[in-house]
Amino acid sequence: SMQAEIAGISFDNLLLNAAGIRCSTVQDLNSILTSEAGGVVTKSATVEERAGNESPRMRALPLGSINSMGLPNHGFDYYMAYVLKAQSAGYNNVILSVAGLSPADDLLMLREIQQSGFDGLVELNLSCPNVKGKPQVGYDFAAVEQLLGEIFKFFDKRLGLKLPPYFDLTQFDEMAAIINQYPVTYVNSINSIGNGLVIDPVTETAVIKPKGGFGGLGGEYAKPTALANVRGFRQRLKPEIQMIGTGGIKSGMDVFEHVLCGADLVQIGTAFGSEGTPIFDRISQELQDIMIEKGYRRLADFRGKLKTL
């Protein structure tokens, strides 16, 4: 069985889309919801609708992808209406992602969620690397601490945090210590590796247009960093804070590795972008085969059980 659970919400399997990938419209969201995915995450909402950055703003590459989308989305009200409608239809596996352009915007959206009838998981994205002039909040530890303090004065629904990748163990120590002070439901690691640069040497040109070609890296480029972040946070967070693993998943074996590092659920970005909804059935079959081969009956049989030398 690939049954999974976060804070009392059960998922038929552990596979979700990653926020941002093919999940901006009602049509996109419904096609994930009716696929073999275990659940769906909405495109990160800002308070107001946004067109995003100039095109070309995403490029698929042999080993992954680079993007600088700039948070194109239909605005908070659109996604709030969607999740409420899905909830009324009996779906409890829809995650509402929000990414304010400021702490004040985060607080405004979370206050609206608190006052709404939505009772599902909320994912606060602290890690968009692509909005011009806006640093990734997740790299400003004092700002994260202050924001969480403000949020948990009023928010008592289930809140997950989408974090950027960290690269030094002192960063894991500090961020985990901050998060452990609050009733956070889950941590989702990682968002894209911000501000890479991919160039075409033939034309001597950057492959995407915004920000002089700088953009977030996903796919195979991201997997070892993602595994380290899932493992690093799992070792440091209090046990009641669950983990979602995101980064570099394109096969059942990649999911297996994320679960070994401690992931309760996983999200698929780059590879879902290139394959579409059939990826959920493929990867779930692959993971099932691996589990049978290894004699594991449930995810809990190997979750977090990575061995070290």
Catalytic site positions: 128
Q: State whether residue 49 is helix, strand or coil.
A: coil
Which residue in this structure is represented by tokens 């989308």? 69
Contact set for ligand DHB, span 177-236 (CB under 6 A): 191-192, 216
Rule CB under 6 A: say whether 37 interacts with ligand DHB. no
> Considering beta carbons, is residue 23 or 228 the nearer one to ligand DHB?
23
Compute the least distance from the CB of residue 286 to ligand DHB, in Å. 26
Q: How many other CB atoms are there within 10 angstroms of residue 235's CB atom?
A: 13
Q: Which of 190, 218, 273, 205 is nearest to 67 (CA)?
A: 218
Among 64, 100, 120, 129, binds ligand DHB (CB under 6 A): 129
Rule CB under 6 A: say whether 64 interacts with ligand DHB. no
Rule CB under 6 A: say whether 268 interacts with ligand DHB. no
Contact set for ligand DHB, span 80-119 (CB under 6 A): 99
> Considering beta carbons, is residue 116 or 195 the nearer one to ligand DHB?
195
> Considering beta carbons, is residue 163 or 255 the nearer one to ligand DHB?
163
Residue type (1 letter), 270: T
Rule CB under 6 A: say whether 20 interacts with ligand DHB. yes
Among 65, 87, 125, 189, binds ligand DHB (CB under 6 A): 125
- Extended beta strands in 57-125, E state: 58-61, 64-67, 94-98, 121-125
Rule CB under 6 A: say whether 47 interacts with ligand DHB. no
Q: Which of 164, 139, 134, 154 is nearest to 229 (CA)?
A: 164
Rule CB under 6 A: say whether 44 interacts with ligand DHB. yes
Q: Which of 172, 206, 208 is nearest to 190 (CA)?
A: 172
Quote the CA–CA distance of 249 and 253 in Å, as a whole number.
Answer: 8
Compute the least distance from the CB of residue 198 to ligand DHB, in Å. 15
Compute the least distance from the CB of residue 133 to ligand DHB, in Å. 13
Are the CB atoms for 124 and 152 separated by under 8 Å?
no
Compute the least distance from the CB of residue 1 to ligand DHB, in Å. 31
Dig out the tokens for 125 from the structure: 């994205």
- What's the sign of the alpha-carbon dihedral 207, 208, 211, 215? negative
- What's the sign of the alpha-carbon dihedral 196, 200, 203, 204? positive
> Considering beta carbons, is residue 192 or 284 the nearer one to ligand DHB?
192
**Which residues of the chain form contacts with ligand DHB (CB under 6 A)?**
20, 44, 67-71, 99, 125, 127-130, 191-192, 216
